[in-house]
A = this chain, B = another copy of it.
Amino acid sequence: MKSRPISLKEVKLRDGWLSRLVELGAKVVVPYSLERCEETGRIDALRGLWKPGMPKEPHVFWDSDVAKVIEGLALEQVAEPTPERARQLEEYVDIILSQQQPDGYLNSHYVFVEPDKRWSNIEQKHELYCAGHLIEAAVAHFQATGTRKFLDGMCRYADYIATVFGLGEGQLRGYPGHEELELALCKLADATGEQKYAELAKYFVDERGQQPSFFEEEARRTGRDRGFLYRDGRQFQAHKPVREQEKPVGHAVRAMYLYSGMADVAERFEDAELLAACERLFDATVNANMYVTGGIGSSREGERFTTDYDLPNSTAYAESCASIALALFAMRMMNITGDAKYADALETELFNGAVSGLSLEGDRFFYANRLESLLPYGLMSDSQAFKRQGWFGCSCCPTNYCRFLPQLPAMAYSELTDGIAANIPVDAELSHAGLSVCVTGNYPFGDSARLEVQKDCASGTLALRIPGWAEGAHVLLNGSDVTSQAVRGYVRLTRAWQAGDVLELRWTKKVRCLHADVRVAEDVGKIALALGPVIFALESVDNEGPLSAYILPEVQEFRIGEANGLPAGTPAITGRAFVESNASAGLYTTQRPSRKESTFTAIPYALWQNRGESTMTVWVRYC
């Protein structure tokens, strides 16, 4: 069952977790980020206002930030067009295009700051990465407006890139140091119908990691010290050809964008070998290198993967962008393969790690997403902040939210050639290929999701995923159990539909206690609480005493109520706990700590630190 993200014109989410995020994106995150881009000089750079010697020197990745905000603005315009947004879009697109060079090149750093250094450090600078984001923005703008000005400009850029890079004589046999362009070129191929862009993406994918190493030669040529992390190419997933790669390595965001591009290329070229590499890399990521929240890339040094089962909680890096990128990869694999396991990972991200970086107000962000934060505030250096911040020198995460949040409806629902796949059946109204459906049930916080057909349809397919977390769940068609028809986690029904037909997913609403593989050293002896796909955390604002002293009886009647001080409808889990104490015995003692009976409260991890300064832990000891 191949599918594609449903058009944002065809789906409207209703009250719930995801719709709140979509609205927050449009109301706060995008306008707020645009302001920051103005304030920090990112847009002035594209206006050509920066001159050597002035402050706010354009950085090599600045254009990508602007592109991501504009992509978000355009996606919002697809979903809900307004004249004001249309005006804004044209204004910013004109600013961007004003700096495109006659040969098609576009990068405000290299044009203004280092005009003679174009393509001199492909490994560590971000020209091709910025190009990718500009192309994605142009495709979104084309979808929103139907006009080709931006798209054509970016086609010229891509055509120019195709002259610089490739196997031909005089060309650079290189590939992006920071991947992203590969997936963007596939989008460009789709939007324009021009296969040459997919071919260029395929070239970049297949050239990566070939010997002799392009990055090694580039460093030698320019006399650059590649540094410890870079020497073997793993940081950029260039240590071996991508088809031979077995495990996620290096910079986590780069890895996930690469794998996304590989998936896109695999699909377009029906390349089973490449798709198998994607499947292998996905499995190796989620089965040994992913936090229970969906966070990936555990090490701050290099923002990277380290080794299987190395998932420390208090020092978790788990960059917001890495979770967003894993969601984008999982979405692609879900649509290509029709396998629900990819939707499981996508869902983990949408309710946890890919959204925990964003404050409830929408204007504060985590760059790194820890699973445990037990120290007082203000002790660590700026780079180790425990609080969400308003912006960053490298502000990839806030701007990534700009273009990620508007896509959520098209992650929850996919379009089939003849119908709709409900991957994450949150409340929504949608229609595609003659099928109109209204979804209710407050997924995932209720105990059923009801897809009601809104009008007759002679023939169409409805596909409904059975979530991996919903042990013993059932799917019913007009009350009859059709669970057994599930293939790879989806029940797919192709038939004539009548208004009033109901396809329903039913599950038992209960708190699950999750144990990690015992090779995850920091999680041994501990559990994480989950309700559906939502991972919970204990925050000190709800719990007395040091959180490290809590022990939860695993077998107990957990209660599901409503959280204090969080959006209406946010569940809280409460229950019995023991709290250990030995404060008077000295720092180290032969006395066992004493235990007293107490209670605990847990809230969704993604919403922690929205009620003032607080300590927090996802993993809690159990007995």
Contact = CB atoms under 8 A, between A and B. Distances in A.
B587 A290 contact: yes
Q: Which of A301, A379, A525, A583 has most chain B Cβ within 10 Å?
A: A525
A73 B492 CA distance: 82
Given A380-B301, A381-B301, A588 B314 contact: no
Interface in A282-312: 286-288, 290, 292, 299, 301-302, 306-307, 310, 312
10 contacts: A287-B587, A290-B587, A307-B379, A314-B521, A516-B588, A518-B546, A519-B549, A524-B548, A524-B580, A525-B621
Interface string A559-590: 00000000000000000000011110111111
Interface of A: 228-229, 286-288, 290, 292, 299, 301-302, 306-307, 310, 312, 314-315, 372, 374-376, 379-382, 384, 471, 512-522, 524-525, 528, 546-549, 551, 554, 580-583, 585-593, 617, 621
A515 B589 contact: yes
A588 B515 contact: yes
The 10 tightest CB contacts between A and B, nearest first, are A521-B548, A518-B549, A518-B580, A514-B588, A228-B381, A519-B546, A374-B521, A524-B548, A525-B525, A292-B588
B517 A586 contact: yes
Nearest to A551: B525
A519 B583 CA distance: 8
Contacts of A520: 548, 587
Given A287-B587, A517-B583, A525-B525, 15 more contacts: A288-B587, A314-B521, A374-B521, A514-B588, A515-B589, A517-B586, A517-B587, A518-B546, A518-B583, A519-B546, A519-B583, A521-B546, A521-B617, A524-B621, A554-B592
A384 B524 contact: no
Contacts of A228: 381-382
A436 to B, nearest CB: 37
Contacts of A382: 228
A56 to B, nearest CB: 19
A587 B376 CA distance: 31
B589 A514 contact: yes
Contact of A518 (B381, B515, B516, B582): B582
A328 to B, nearest CB: 21
A379 B306 contact: yes
B585 A517 contact: yes
A574 B513 CA distance: 33
Contacts of A522: 522
Contact of A229 (B288, B381, B547): B381
Contact of A593 (B299, B515, B551): B515
Nearest to A617: B521
B306 A380 contact: yes
Contacts of A512: 590
A511 to B, nearest CB: 10
A516 B589 CA distance: 6
A585 B514 CA distance: 11
A254 to B, nearest CB: 18
Contact of A306 (B375, B515, B583): B375
Contacts of A593: 515, 518
Contacts of A306: 375, 379-380
A471 to B, nearest CB: 8
A287 B514 contact: no
Contacts of A590: 471, 512-515
A580 B515 CA distance: 12
Given A307-B375, A307-B376, A301 B518 contact: no
A580 B590 CA distance: 25
A516 B548 CA distance: 12
B286 A587 contact: yes
Contacts of A519: 546, 548-549, 583
A494 B288 CA distance: 66
A314 B310 CA distance: 11
A315 B587 CA distance: 19
Contact of A521 (B290, B372, B551): B372
Nearest to A292: B588
Nearest to A593: B518
Contacts of A374: 521
A590 B593 CA distance: 28
A518 B581 contact: yes
Nearest to A469: B590
Contacts of A518: 546, 548-549, 580-583, 593
Nearest to A314: B312
A591 B514 CA distance: 8
Contacts of A549: 518-519, 524
Residue of A229, A384, A520, A522 contacting most chain B CB atoms (<10 Å): A522
